[in-house]
């Protein structure tokens, strides 16, 4: 590995570590702020964002786009959409393991013990956010592969993350850690699948 990629990874790790530390520090402040600014219309809107922002919607869209690109014979976009679905699945599976290994009560659960609890109860599956992890991994691959399109769609996982906090399903740290997990899964899957783009270009030249 060259020095430049190593430097970029170190910078990324440092930024992620600072973001995670800050999110845990501001957990209660953000939670209290959101509770003080609740209204019915916004809560209904965030409920629907949270509902349609879950992994089934992402995987349906991903599989549809994957099938469409494959049908059109576009190998490049077929690989990108496949990477998006796989990254989302990896983030979802990893997040589920973490949830059951490190139970954390959701903000809406009235308990003095924030960490610990039933491993298989969804009320104690706050950390990390499955919605955010899946969505960030899904669109993260798109940002890596097609930056302009990916950045244009970046508000989607951000809105999903905010909706999960607004409806009382997650703390800020749940959302931030899930986003970091999603970015990591997107980077790993993209490196495995999308690095073939250069080889494809060489084949075309030949």
Q: Are 105 and 124 in contact (CB under 8 A)?
A: yes
Tokens of 123: 């009320």
Q: What's the burial of 136, exposed, middle or buried (CB within 10 Å: 0-12/13-18/19+)?
A: buried
pLDDT band at 200 (very low <50, low <70, confident <90, very high): very low
- C-beta neighbour count of 185 within 10 angstroms: 27
CA dihedral 59, 77, 4, 157 (to 10 degrees): -30
Q: Are 194 and 145 in contact (CB under 8 A)?
A: yes
Question: Which residues pair with residue 115 across a beta bridge?
Answer: 104
> Taking all residues of the chain, what is their mean pLDDT, rounded to a whole number?
90
* pLDDT tens track for 30-80: 999 999 999 999 999 999 999 998 888 999 999 999 999 999 999 999 999
The predicted pLDDT at position 171 comes to: 96
* pLDDT tens track for 77-94: 999 999 999 999 999 999
pLDDT at 199 over 50: no
Where helices occur in 73-171 by DSSP H, the ranges are 75-101, 130-145, 147-152, 155-166
Please choose, from the candidates 86, 85, 91, 87, the residue with its C-alpha nearest in 3D space to the C-alpha of residue 57. Answer: 85
The predicted pLDDT at position 91 comes to: 96
The predicted pLDDT at position 179 comes to: 97
Q: Are 180 and 20 in contact (CB under 8 A)?
A: yes
Per-residue buried b or exposed e for 75-108, using 16+ beta carbons within 10 Å of the residue's own CB:
eebbbbbbbbbbbbbbbbebbeebbeeebbbbbe
The whole-model pTM stands at 0.89
The predicted pLDDT at position 196 comes to: 57
Tokens of 135: 């969505």
Q: CA 8, 91, 48, 150 torsion: positive or negative?
A: positive
């Amino acid at each position: 590995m060259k020095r430049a990629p190593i430097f970029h990874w170190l910078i990324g790790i440092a930024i992620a570590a600072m973001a995670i530390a800050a999110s845990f520090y501001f957990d209660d402040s953000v939670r209290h702020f959101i509770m003080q600014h609740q209204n019915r219309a916004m809560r209904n809107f965030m409920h629907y964002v949270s509902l349609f922002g879950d992994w089934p919607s992402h995987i349906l869209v991903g599989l549809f786009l994957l099938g469409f690109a494959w049908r059109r014979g576009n190998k490049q976009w077929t690989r990108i959409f496949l990477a998006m679905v796989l990254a989302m699945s990896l983030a979802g599976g990893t997040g589920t393991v973490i949830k059951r290994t490190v139970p954390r009560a959701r903000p809406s659960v009235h308990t003095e013990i924030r960490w610990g609890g039933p491993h298989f109860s969804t009320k104690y599956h706050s950390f990390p956010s499955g919605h955010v992890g899946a969505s960030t991994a899904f669109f993260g691959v798109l940002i890596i592969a097609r930056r302009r399109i990916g950045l244009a769609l970046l508000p989607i996982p951000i809105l999903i993350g905010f909706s999960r906090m607004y409806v009382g399903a997650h703390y800020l740290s749940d959302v931030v850690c899930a986003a970091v997990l999603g970015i990591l899964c997107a980077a790993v899957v993209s490196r495995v699948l999308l690095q073939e783009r250069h080889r494809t270009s060489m084949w075309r030249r030949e």
